[in-house]
Amino acid sequence: MSSFRTLDDLADVNGMVALVRVDLNLPMRDGAVTDDTRIRACAPTILELAEKGAKVLLLAHFGRPNGERSSTMSLSMVVGAVERVLGKEVMFVPEVAGEVAAQAVGILRPGDIAILENTRFWKGEEKNDPDFVKAIAAIGDLYVNDAFSAAHRAHATTEGLAHSMPACAGRSMQAELQALDQALGNPEKPVAALVGGAKVSSKLEVLKHLVGQVDHLIIGGGMANTFLAAKGVDVGKSLCEHDLTGTATKILEAAESTGCTVHLPYDVVVAKEFAGNPPSLRTCNVHEVASDEMILDVGPGAVEALGDVLKICRTLVWNGPMGAFEMQPFDAATVTLAKTAAALTAEGSLVSVAGGGDTVAALNHAGVAQDFSYISTAGGAFLEWMEGKELPGVAALSR
Ligand code: ADP
Ligand code: MG
């Protein structure tokens, strides 16, 4: 049994009004939804509740209207896209509480679905105002949270409502929490974490947390340069946060004391200009980087050794590309290691979980995103989870 409540814990929902928090913060262009991934993610929860006879009211935020109505951020814009994914008619209600909302609920029959207006049109949402929570709770019988991506925020519809009525996780939230638990909560050992990306500063908390959790910490990307500099390597013109070398040394010392092996690249791909296939491209040992060169990817020798590390591990959690993957050939380390992880996952020897905006793009570029055990598209919530923080929206659903 999971540590949080799910739809399976709900008694008969027939005829009940279910307030379902979803992520409808969709990418739009010229008033049209350009990517319906987030709708598809919450569709199983919505359809399951509708099939069981609940009246389903969808709650979501869109953009940053700062507590005021804004015609350009109304959720009425996404109704058509939601109807297309669900294959059902969806009503729009221009309120989240009060008379109008109550009347709309009165019209709904069991199995009907409605989208309420952008929750951030009201100041009470981000303030988690108890009166606002109470007003919304008055129109519903139960609360389902299917928006992991908003779970790092303690807002009225992501946290407050869970305390006001029977509450549980939706199917997408459930799948995400189970995958994350398999990766860091209760993982099969040995566990490897692969952390890359541009800067140490954006992932300090992640690195600090991981050294106490994993057996192998693989550091790549631009942030590896700061660690190399901390070890006395001259990284030339590479992206490097020289003011953080002391912090990097502390992280390496912490790893030493917890028995976490840190893997830094020993060979690298360098160039004098930040461009695709530059004439100055070469591969060298980390100690041979010239003062006018930049490290733009992990070298092939290190990649092979890191592949061997993955082969002895049972669990991998990955955030951040290993190099400047947007330009060839600096995508090589990321693509090769992604393919290795995907192959090991297919063989059944590795559980692989990845997340992060650029990471998801890089794994798609490598053509292996669907071969990972789980890919999180949650952004901020995923990073906070990697930092070991308790997410308020998740904590509110615990048993
Ligand atoms: P995510 O969005 O998955 O959390 P980040 O935003 O932390 O990842 O990092 C992604 C960025 O890091 C990419 O734009 C990539 O080009 C950059 N990057 C990776 N390695 C290097 C490097 N050696 N030098 C400069 N930039 C790098
Ligand atoms: Mg990013």
Q: Is 321 in the pocket of ligand 1 (CB under 6 A)?
A: yes
Catalytic residue among 236, 307, 357, 388: 357
Q: Is 201 in the pocket of ligand 1 (CB under 6 A)?
A: no
Q: Are strands 32-33 and 55-59 parallel, antiparallel or unpaired?
A: unpaired
Ligand 1 atom closest to residue 362's alpha carbon, by position in its atom list: 3
Question: Which residue(s) pair with 354 in the sheet?
Answer: 318, 375
Ligand 1 atom closest to residue 325's alpha carbon, by position in its atom list: 16
Strands (E), 32-139: 32-33, 55-59, 90-93, 113-116
Nearest CA, atom 14, ligand 1? 324
pTM: 0.93
Q: Domain boundaries in the chain?
A: 7-171, 187-386
Catalytic residue among 88, 127, 134, 199: 199
Ligand 1 atom closest to residue 327's alpha carbon, by position in its atom list: 16
Ligand 1 atom closest to residue 221's alpha carbon, by position in its atom list: 20
Q: What distance in angstroms lies between residue 294's CA and the mean position of ligand 1's atoms?
A: 14
Ligand nearest to the CA of 326: 1
> What would the pLDDT profile of 38-72 be if each residue is shown by its tens digit?
999 999 999 999 999 999 999 999 999 999 999 99
Find the length of the chain. 399
Whether 7-171 and 187-386 share one fold: the answer is yes
Task: Tell me: pLDDT of 88 over 70.
Answer: yes
Task: Tell me: pLDDT of 2 over 80.
Answer: no
Any residues with CB less than 8 A from the CB of 116 and at least 6 apart, and which?
57, 58, 59, 75, 93, 95, 96, 101
Q: What distance in angstroms lies between residue 334's CA and the mean position of ligand 2's atoms?
A: 15
**Class of the 7-171 domain?**
alpha beta
321 within 8 A of 356, measured Cβ to Cβ: no
The DSSP secondary-structure symbol of 190 reads S
* pLDDT, position 11: 84
Instruction: Compute the average pLDDT of residues 160-164.
Output: 97
Residues of the chain by 3-state class (helix, strand, coil), percent to 5: 45, 20, 40
* pLDDT, position 1: 62
Q: Is 380 in the pocket of ligand 1 (CB under 6 A)?
A: no
Catalytic residue among 5, 21, 38, 52: 38
Report the percent of the chain where pLDDT is more than 90.
Answer: 96
* Domain at 187-386, CATH homologous superfamily: Phosphoglycerate kinase, N-terminal domain (3.40.50.1260)
Ligand nearest to the CA of 362: 1
> What would the pLDDT profile of 275-329 be if each residue is shown by its tens digit?
999 999 999 999 999 999 999 999 999 999 999 999 999 999 999 999 999 999 9
* pLDDT, position 399: 87
Closest CA to 356 of 154, 134, 131, 198: 198
* Top mutation candidate among 293, 322, 358 for ligand 1, by most atoms within 8 Å of CB: 358
> What would the pLDDT profile of 117-132 be if each residue is shown by its tens digit?
999 999 999 999 999 9
Q: What distance in angstroms lies between residue 12's CA and the mean position of ligand 2's atoms?
A: 43
